[in-house]
Structure 1
């Protein structure tokens, strides 16, 4: 009798039968083949142009944020420490996928070593989880700064900020560790072709000739629990922030305080909306074209790292003023 495991995160039946196990060796492949964007192979070169521009802007913008915060003593505050953590995470996240993606698009170099694939998988999901945690930390900082301004420096000391940062890193590192561990454990006896432009977790494990329900349940639980919990804490923080803002007596004070939070809200929306769309497409989007889903998955990892420094650079007066002074000084 055939056993057909159901992939919870991609929402369809995985064609595996126990008879395969009697005729095929269960071994880990030496390499996988990444297809890029199936159905749009002829347009790979053209697609690479905006992706390359987005990546260049992400690198320039995030390094600029790190540089400005480093050289400006007045920016050595919790908000900007968390912003630097976000910039580092963005740099690693985008660099984890784009170089290999460009080698597929430009050089037709589709092979990726099995261990390299699992490493890429780990970095992608690990730093995505870290970014979500950083947004929670930034929401906490805004809450303390607006609702308890006189106690901000005593509550969020450098020691507390360091501990929060360490907790964010450990949470992402530990929760995602089972992804590559389980993927290495599964036997692969059929195709090694991944219909994706990078080693996305479920795209890899669904190639296994085994019952992958453990991976499916775990990845779905981590995704929904983290997004739900983090978004809940962010929502609660901003409800309290908005209550404090609208209780201010002067209209100009309300607008100024609201403006300090608008950049953070824009960044949160730019991260969670594509993440939620990608997750729901995995689960319920059987009728969504594969190439469209992969384009959205790529944009989800590449566009926010480009937007974050732009949003913070434009909306955060201290960063913008320091950047202008830097260029004005060089110009004179």
Structure 2
């Protein structure tokens, strides 16, 4: 690899590298098998989320606030998967670990933009379930497609602006030591830590985003379910309680698949020191697995979607039989 100094181009007093070198999984034993595993996760995630998006769009019966939120979660899953895994596979297939400075910032924006939208959408789904169970008589007045449209318009705009600011602040940094990113993509933290000037504003924004996108949503979701459980105690029969709780199963599984891996990584890292390879594998799984699991959870726990898939398969089978005959 060329010396770092040869890859730098200076603009006034700010020094930006022409490219970064993504270390990725180069030091992980048997990394080929892990790349193949990520490729299968990618295929399942893309197909699964595409099916969910298609079904929600074409089926009028699913044009309700709950499925409107599910549509945005599937869209965020689809976007994050395509922003993250193809770049990882490019390193494996083409042995191309170099990425230009601007392309690195673009990769950083889209990965963080879609992953944080997953957290915000899970928060909206928790709000939907809270109103449905705690205030059932006012549900249609409080939660409707118009309200959901406004909520998601605000969330997508707010999220895009905040993530853009976080990424733009990287441009004020000067990189004069190394251009090797100890991660599997252009992650915000590993990138700004390569700078040799003041990064206090970047550290602040990283902590702010962690609080806004992960800590606060998780705490609010926990509080919303405490309210739901208290509301369920007022229901007289166990059958009605289970029926109400059953409507939350899909959301609870989605919340678990998204937040639990992140919480486990931070807890393990707090107790023991994780090697760079261990951090890369654990965080990559935390990013790659939820978009693959979410559409499976939709299908297995949503009677309407399962029934639509059965009807479609039966219709296709009938068409094939009629053509063959």
Moved more, 158-167 or 240-249: 240-249
Higher relative contact order (CA 8 A, sep 6+): 1
Q: Does 1:213 align with 2:213?
A: no
Q: What are the equivalent positions in structure 2 for 1:21-60 lying under 5 Å apart?
A: 26-40=14-28, 43-60=30-47
Q: Deviations over 1:4-52 (max 9, x none)?
A: xxxxxxxxxxxxxxxxxxxxx8521111111112421x52321111101
Out of 121, 128, 134, the residue aligned to residue 147 of structure 1 is: 134
Change in CA separation of 1:279 and 1:186 when aligned onto 2, cut-off 3 Å: farther
Give the structure 2 partner of residue 318 of structure 1.
304
Give the structure 2 partner of residue 96 of structure 1.
83
Moved more, 307-316 or 236-245: 236-245
Give the structure 2 partner of residue 17 of structure 1.
none
Give distance in 1, aligned partners of 2:175 and 2:160: 25
Give distance in 2, aligned partners of 1:307 and 1:122: 23
Query: What secondary structure sits across from 2:20 in the alignment?
Result: strand
Q: What are the equivalent positions in structure 2 for 1:230-245 lying under 5 Å apart?
A: 230-245=217-232
Give distance in 1, aligned partners of 2:233 and 2:316: 42
Give distance in 1, aligned partners of 2:91 and 2:31: 8
Mapped contact 1:37–1:195 kept (Cα < 8 A): no
Out of 274, 278, 285, the residue aligned to residue 292 of structure 1 is: 278
Give the structure 1 partner of residue 185 of structure 2.
198
Query: What secondary structure sits across from 2:211 in the alignment?
Result: helix
Query: Offset of 1:298 from its aligned partner?
Result: 0.8
Gaps of 5+ in 2: 1-12, 319-325
Mapped contact 2:91–2:97 kept (Cα < 8 A): yes
Give distance in 1, aligned partners of 2:180 and 2:38: 23
Q: Deviations over 1:121-177 (max 9, x none)?
A: 111222222111111110111112222223222211222111110122123112222
Mapped contact 1:281–1:293 kept (Cα < 8 A): no
Give the structure 2 partner of residue 164 of structure 1.
151
Query: Offset of 1:120 from its aligned partner?
Result: 0.9
Q: Does 1:331 align with 2:317?
A: yes
TM-score, length of structure 1 as denominator length: 0.87
Give distance in 2, aligned partners of 1:115 and 1:45: 28
TM-score, length of structure 2 as denominator length: 0.89
Query: Offset of 1:224 from its aligned partner?
Result: 2.5
Give the structure 2 partner of residue 11 of structure 1.
none
Give the structure 2 partner of residue 76 of structure 1.
63
Query: Offset of 1:222 from its aligned partner?
Result: 2.0
Query: What secondary structure sits across from 1:33 in the alignment?
Result: strand
Change in CA separation of 1:281 and 1:113 when aligned onto 2, cut-off 3 Å: farther
Q: Deviations over 1:288-316 (max 9, x none)?
A: 11111101111111100001111111011
Aligned length: 306
Out of 269, 290, 295, the residue aligned to residue 309 of structure 1 is: 295
Give distance in 2, aligned partners of 1:279 and 1:200: 16
Query: Offset of 1:286 from its aligned partner?
Result: 7.2
